[in-house]
């Protein structure tokens, strides 16, 4: 009996070493990005961008002018139909599990992404940390991509969208987007990308629909007001340095503190920022006028933040500042919170932002709060 079992197990070890579904890694095309544009008759024009392994694996045959990716666009109702159609145009089988980013065209984002995000989150292939972004034309954006300083396109997208904790790019992963829609406790901001990667703008959503856009400055302010900001540079001007601005490296060590007073209908945000002067005009001495400069910065950020919050809350009627989520601590149970959530109108609330801006002086580790 032992001999028979030994033969069976040895045979299994030797013979069952192939992949279980008979598809070898060499027979697969790895999708790195998907682009979804509006189509006709309720369908979408879906661009599938997959890696070109010959260009990213190294060796003598690399032609630097060739892209590390290839694109194919098909008309389909969803990504799975698109992959099935694109498979017919490709010798290798398209594989979705390495997708790093999904780009939606503005028109598709404005129509709403609820159904699509639900399908994506339930997909076993797509990961919850896939990045989502918006572009005027998703196909054009993907076709223009030819990462020059990173041969691996998957790594390129990862590095590009991983900058979301610094100023500029909002944090927009599939999980964050889907959780926001499903819980109804906040709305999401996604990065707006363009072929030239010009200004870092952001798309503001209300539920699953894109309802507006934030400019680059507004996006930077939003990062301060959101909880995911880590650090970045900011260029400020005041009357002392009208022509030559002061560059400050900003870090946000404390998360913004939101207080939502449901009785008096007011929203208060406490913002603490720490900065150090990186460059200043030669005739300007930041140490001497630091306190005054801090005050001016605080006033500037306060004014701009309040304007931004009012614009988003009243004009876009969007909760990108997670106001519902912050209000949750006022309630004991979901029943009570749901009642509040369904009845609250933040456009009736007053908004105040208090900013504490500490600039590190020469010789000091950090100014005390």
Alpha-carbon gap, residue 270 to 254, rounded angstroms: 10
> Which residue among 106, 139, 322, 360 contacts another protein (CB under 8 A)?
322
> Which residue among 249, 296, 331, 341 contacts another protein (CB under 8 A)?
331
Nearer to another protein by C-beta: 284 or 337?
337
CB of 1 to another protein, least distance (A): 12
Q: Do residues 49 and 70 lie in contact, with contact meaning Cβ atoms separated by under 8 Å?
A: yes
Phi, psi angles (nearest 5°) of residue 347: -70, -15
CA angle, corner 331, sides to 313 and 346, nearest 5?
Answer: 15
# of chain residues touching another protein (CB under 8 A): 26
Nearer to another protein by C-beta: 306 or 325?
325
Distances from the Cα of 151 to the Cα of 52, 70, 143, 198, angstroms: 10, 13, 16, 22
Distances from the Cα of 270 to the Cα of 158, 230, 313, angstroms: 32, 17, 18
> Which residue among 17, 21, 149, 343 contacts another protein (CB under 8 A)?
21
Using the 8-state DSSP alphabet, how is residue 361 labeled? P
CB of 45 to another protein, least distance (A): 28
> Which residue among 57, 146, 183, 347 contacts another protein (CB under 8 A)?
183
Using the 8-state DSSP alphabet, how is residue 221 labeled? H
Alpha-carbon gap, residue 26 to 24, rounded angstroms: 5
Nearer to another protein by C-beta: 42 or 335?
335
Q: Within 119-148, which residues bind another protein (CB under 8 A)? A: 124, 127-129
**Span of 63-71, 174-182, 264-272, 284-292 interacting with another protein by CB under 8 A:** 174-182
The tokens describing 57, both together, are 């694996």
**Span of 284-292, 303-311, 326-334, 343-351 interacting with another protein by CB under 8 A:** 326-334
Q: Do residues 359 and 290 lie in contact, with contact meaning Cβ atoms separated by under 8 Å?
A: yes
> Which residue among 30, 44, 120, 178 contacts another protein (CB under 8 A)?
178
> Which residue among 325, 341, 361, 367 contacts another protein (CB under 8 A)?
325
Q: Is 324 helix (H, G, I), strand (E, B) or coil?
A: helix
**Span of 188-196, 273-281, 333-341, 356-364 interacting with another protein by CB under 8 A:** 333-341
CB of 331 to another protein, least distance (A): 5
Nearer to another protein by C-beta: 100 or 201?
100
Query: Is the four-CA dihedral 13, 17, 21, 22 of positive or negative sign?
Result: negative
CB of 26 to another protein, least distance (A): 18
Within a 10 A sphere around the Cβ of 87, how many other Cβ atoms?
Answer: 16
> Which residue among 52, 105, 139, 185 contacts another protein (CB under 8 A)?
185
Phi, psi angles (nearest 5°) of residue 218: -65, -35
Residue 332 found at the interface with another protein (CB under 8 A): yes
Closest CA to 323 of 187, 176, 164: 187
Nearer to another protein by C-beta: 129 or 198?
129
- Judged on CB neighbours under 10 Å (0-12, 13-18, 19+), 231 is middle
Q: Do residues 281 and 275 lie in contact, with contact meaning Cβ atoms separated by under 8 Å?
A: no
Nearer to another protein by C-beta: 92 or 328?
328
Residue 150 found at the interface with another protein (CB under 8 A): no
Nearer to another protein by C-beta: 185 or 298?
185
CB of 34 to another protein, least distance (A): 19
Q: Do residues 135 and 193 lie in contact, with contact meaning Cβ atoms separated by under 8 Å?
A: yes
For 76-126, give the DSSP string.
Answer: ESSHHHHHHHHHTT-SSEEE-TT--EEEEEHHHHHH--HHHHHHHHH-SSS
Residue 326 found at the interface with another protein (CB under 8 A): yes
> Which residue among 335, 342, 348, 363 contacts another protein (CB under 8 A)?
335
Applying CB under 8 A, the residues found at the interface with another protein are: 20-21, 124, 127-129, 155, 158, 175, 178-179, 182-183, 185, 322, 325-326, 328-329, 331-337
């Amino acid at each position: 009996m032992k001999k028979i079992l030994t033969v069976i197990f040895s045979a299994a070890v030797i013979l069952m070493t192939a992949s279980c579904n008979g598809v070898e890694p060499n027979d697969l095309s790895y999708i790195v990005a998907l682009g979804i544009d509006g189509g006709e008759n309720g369908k979408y024009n879906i661009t599938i961008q997959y890696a070109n392994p010959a260009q990213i694996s190294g060796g003598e045959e690399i032609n630097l002018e060739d892209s590390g990716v290839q694109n194919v666009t098909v008309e389909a109702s969803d990504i799975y139909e698109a992959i099935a159609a694109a498979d017919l145009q490709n010798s290798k089988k398209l594989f979705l599990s390495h997708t790093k980013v999904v780009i939606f065209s503005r028109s598709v984002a404005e129509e709403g992404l609820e159904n699509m995000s639900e399908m994506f989150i339930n997909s076993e292939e797509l990961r919850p940390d896939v990045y989502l972004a918006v572009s005027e034309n998703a196909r054009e954006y993907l076709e223009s991509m030819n990462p020059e300083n990173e041969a691996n396109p998957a790594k390129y997208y990862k590095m590009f969208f991983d900058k979301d904790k610094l100023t500029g790019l909002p944090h927009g992963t599939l999980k964050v987007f889907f959780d926001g829609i499903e819980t109804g406790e906040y709305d999401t901001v996604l990065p707006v990308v363009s072929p030239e990667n010009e200004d870092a703008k952001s798309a503001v959503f209300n539920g699953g629909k894109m309802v507006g856009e934030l400019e680059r400055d507004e996006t930077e302010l939003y990062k301060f007001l959101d909880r995911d900001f880590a650090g970045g540079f900011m260029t400020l001007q005041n009357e002392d340095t009208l022509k030559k601005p002061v560059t400050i490296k900003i870090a946000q060590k404390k998360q913004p503190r939101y207080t939502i007073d449901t009785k008096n209908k007011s929203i208060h945000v406490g913002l603490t920022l720490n900065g150090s002067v990186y460059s200043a005009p030669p005739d300007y001495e930041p140490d001497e006028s630091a306190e005054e400069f801090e005050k001016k910065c605080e006033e500037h950020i306060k004014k701009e933040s309040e304007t931004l919050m009012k614009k988003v809350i009243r004009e876009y009627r969007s909760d990108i500042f997670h106001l519902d989520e912050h209000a949750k601590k006022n309630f004991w149970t979901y029943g009570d919170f749901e009642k509040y959530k369904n009845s609250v109108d933040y456009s009736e609330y007053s908004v105040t932002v208090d900013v504490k801006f500490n600039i590190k002086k020469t010789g000091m580790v950090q100014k005390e709060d």
